[in-house]
Amino acid sequence: MKVLTLLPLFSLVLWLSPASGADGGVLATGGKFTGTQSCGTTGCHGGGTIHNESIIYERKDPHAVSYGILGKGTSLRIAEALGIKGDPAKDIQCNVCHAPMQGVAPDLFVKDLKPDRGVGCESCHGAAENWLRFHTRPDVEFAQIIAAGMRDLNDIYNRANSCVGCHLNLDESLRKAGHPELFFELDGQCAAQPPHYHDARPSLGSRSWLTGQAAALREMSWKLAAKQDENFLPRWKALVWLLQKTDLGRTELPVTEDFSTMQKAADGLARKAAQKLWPTGLVKAQLKEFAAVYTEFEAAKADKVQLQRKAEVLVPALDRLWRELVKSGASKQTECEAAIQSLHLLALDHEDFDPVRFAGTLGQLKVLLAREDAPSAAK
Ligand code: HEC
Ligand code: HEC
Ligand code: HEC
């Protein structure tokens, strides 16, 4: 059935069913949707500086406009190429990610509610009917609210699962029709959302990065197990290559090209990564290990497409780990930032990726990182 291949594993439709294995069934309590408007009144999340989540969402969050773009230029061209007749927002090929409530059965909304247009509060936080009235009461524990169906996004594994369903696996027909390729990296995308919450837990950056990439590997493996995809395969290989260079990845991920085996292992990795704290020394060591792979990009005979895909997953890793070092005060070496930015631009060049230049800049980063460790490091 064609429609099924379009549904991301953690899409709304699936998380309404308790069968969605990797998520532990946290969302499946059967409550109805109450709509984003029910969250944003001034007495609630639309109320000034403390409870301003809805204000941040309305003003800055890309999800608030994800429905709107379906009616415009590029979307109409994509829709035409796919043979979609009429409004793309009414078509499951688009609204499953851009306007998920449009595809939900009417009896799943509280009485008389008009479904949200974009990706609303409940797309991430869970259907609110069963917890809306009591979730602010001081005598109610967080666990009780979660039991009533709110999604525990404080848990990094759950957080990764809630985003990755819409942010990675795109049907090849959509890509060919002109839809931008999707990439998932939890830590950077949480920062870019921008967050309407404060989360200052230790080593959140490295943990989120690794958990998110492991969840991405699980989803890619799931997709490839279901269907061959020549464009996607080098991306899968690149991510396996990268994650097998981390401590947890080395122990959790098998050396195999069997996608189902990898799907399971990647899920295990994501769960462990969500719990594992990274001391500063580990962040530094990991960064150095990543920088040291520059020699692999120098190899003259290597496959350029594969190398570009490796660069594409390596650069966000460098970026997130580097930012964490700076945040923790363990590094002040600003030249590294410029090097990472250059690597980012080089990695974006799908058409004409230059592995030798990439290797050169990565080698420079390695030198900069080593310099900072020398006892006489100049400040
Ligand atoms: C698997 C989920 C998914 C599906 C299905 C999907 N999109 Fe998207 N789409 C996204 C995400 C996520 C982005 C943001 C990508 C980015 O900026 O990196 C996006 C971006 C876009 C953009 C570019 C927006 C911009 O601001 O530049 C357009 C246009 C678009 N989608 C149209 C469509 C249309 C039309 C369909 C249906 C044919 C569709 N999308 C189906 C997830 C999806
Ligand atoms: C794209 C996903 C997404 C959407 C959409 C979203 N949120 Fe969140 N929200 C999160 C994540 C992730 C967190 C962090 C959870 C945590 O740390 O407990 C969060 C946290 C929160 C918190 C806790 C704040 C704190 O500091 O403890 C509130 C309240 C909240 N969101 C309200 C809303 C409201 C209201 C809307 C709609 C206007 C909304 N969210 C839309 C993902 C989302
Ligand atoms: C129901 C599907 C859905 C979920 C769940 C979702 N997103 Fe999105 N997200 C989208 C779509 C669709 C767009 C494209 C919006 C546009 O460009 O108009 C988008 C755009 C974005 C963007 C801007 C484009 C980019 O990729 O940089 C960020 C950042 C983002 N999402 C972060 C997140 C994070 C973090 C989470 C989880 C906490 C999340 N999203 C959960 C569908 C979703």
CB 353 within 8 A of CB 307: yes
Instruction: Decide if 88 is inside a domain.
Output: yes
By most ligand atoms within 8 Å of CB, the mutation choice from 87, 98, 175 for ligand 1 is: 98
Range of the domain at 137: 28-150
Peptide bond into 62 cis (omega under 30): no
Name residue, tokens 């969302």: 27
The closest residue, in CA terms, to atom 40 on ligand 3 is: 163
Q: Is residue 160 part of a domain?
A: no
Ligand 1 mean position, distance from CA 98 (Å): 7
Q: So what's the pLDDT on residue 14? A: 38
* Centre of ligand 3 from the C-alpha of residue 137, in Å: 30
- Answer yes or no: is the C-beta of 75 below 6 A from any ligand 1 atom: yes
Does 81 fall in a domain? yes
Q: Whose CA is nearest to atom 24 of ligand 2?
A: 197
285 lines ligand 1 (CB under 6 A): no
Q: Is the CB of 123 under 6 A from ligand 2?
A: yes
pLDDT digits (tens, 9 = 90+) for 24-74: 333 445 799 999 988 988 889 988 777 899 999 999 999 999 999 999 999
- Say if CB 57 and CB 197 are below 8 A apart: no
The CA–CA distances, whole Å, from 26 to 127, 226, 347, 375 equal 11, 25, 37, 50
First to last CA, the chain: 61
Ligand 1 atom nearest to CA at 177: 38
SS3 per residue for the chain: CHHHHHCCCCCHHHHCCCCCHHHCCCCCCCCCECCHHHHCCCCCCCECCCECHHHHHHHHCHHHHCCHHHHCHHHHHHHHHHCCCCCHHHCHHHHHHHCHHHHCCHHHECCCCCCCCCCCHHHHHCCCCCCCCCCCCCCCCHHHHHHCCCCCCCCHHHHHHHHHHHHCCCCHHHHHCCCCCCCCCHHHHHHHCCCCCCCCCCCHHHHHHHHHHHHHHHHHHHHHHHCCCCCCHHHHHHHHHHHCCCHHHHHHCCCCCCHHHHHHHHHHHHHHHHHCCCCHHHHHHHHHHHHCCHHHHHCCCCCHHHHHHHHHHHHHHHHHHHHHHHHCCCCCCCHHHHHHHHHHHHHHCCCCCCHHHHHHHHHHHHHHHHHHHCCCCCC
Does the CB atom of residue 96 touch ligand 1 within 6 A?
Answer: yes
Q: What is the pLDDT of residue 356?
A: 95
Query: Looking at residue 240, what is its pLDDT?
Result: 98
Q: How far is CA 30 from the centre of its chain?
A: 26
Question: Which residues face 109 on adjacent strands?
Answer: 33
Q: How far apart are CA 61 and CA 184, in angstroms?
A: 17
Residue with the smallest CA separation from ligand 2 atom 17 is: 154
For 73-103, letters b (16+ CB in 10 Å) and e give eebeebbeebebeeebbebebbbbbbbbbbb
69 lines ligand 1 (CB under 6 A): yes
How much is the pLDDT for 353? 96
342 domain residue, yes or no? no
Query: Which segments in the chain show pLDDT lower than 50?
Result: 1-28, 377-379
Rounded CA separation 126/12 (Å): 9
Judge whether 94 lies within some domain: yes
In angstroms, the CA 163 to CA 157 distance is 10
Taking the C-alpha atoms of residue 314 and residue 126, their distance in angstroms, rounded to an integer, is: 33
The candidate with the shortest Cα–Cα distance to 66, out of 101, 98, 100, is 98
The CB of 159 under 6 Å from ligand 2? The reply is yes
Q: Which atom in ligand 2 lies closest to the alpha carbon of residue 159?
A: 12
Point out the ligand nearest to the CA of residue 150. Answer: 2
On whether residue 17 sits in a domain, the answer given is: no
In short, whether 121's Cβ falls inside 6 Å of ligand 3 is no
Handedness of CA 47, 49, 53, 54 (dihedral sign): positive
Cβ neighbours for 288, distance < 8 A, ≥ 6 positions apart:
366, 369, 370
Task: Name the closest ligand to CA 70.
Answer: 1
**Residue whose CA is closest, atom 20 of ligand 2?**
197
Q: Which ligand is nearest to the CA of 11?
A: 3
Give the pLDDT of residue 27: 40
Short-list 270, 275, 350, CA closest to 9? 270
| Ligand 1 mutation pick, 92, 167, 182, 348, max ligand atoms within 8 A of CB | 182
Q: Name the pTM for this structure.
A: 0.93
Q: Tell me how many domains the chain contains.
A: 1
Question: Which pLDDT score, from 0 to 100, does residue 82 have?
Answer: 97
Q: Which CATH number fits the domain that encloses residue 74?
A: 1.10.1130.10
CA 62 to ligand 3 center in whole angstroms = 7
For residue 89, which ligand has an atom nearest its CA?
1
Q: Please say whether the beta carbons of 214 and 243 come within 8 A.
A: yes
* CA 194 / ligand 1 centre spacing (Å): 18
Residue 163 lies in a domain: no
Distance 295 CA to ligand 1 centre (A): 36
Residue 46 lies in a domain: yes
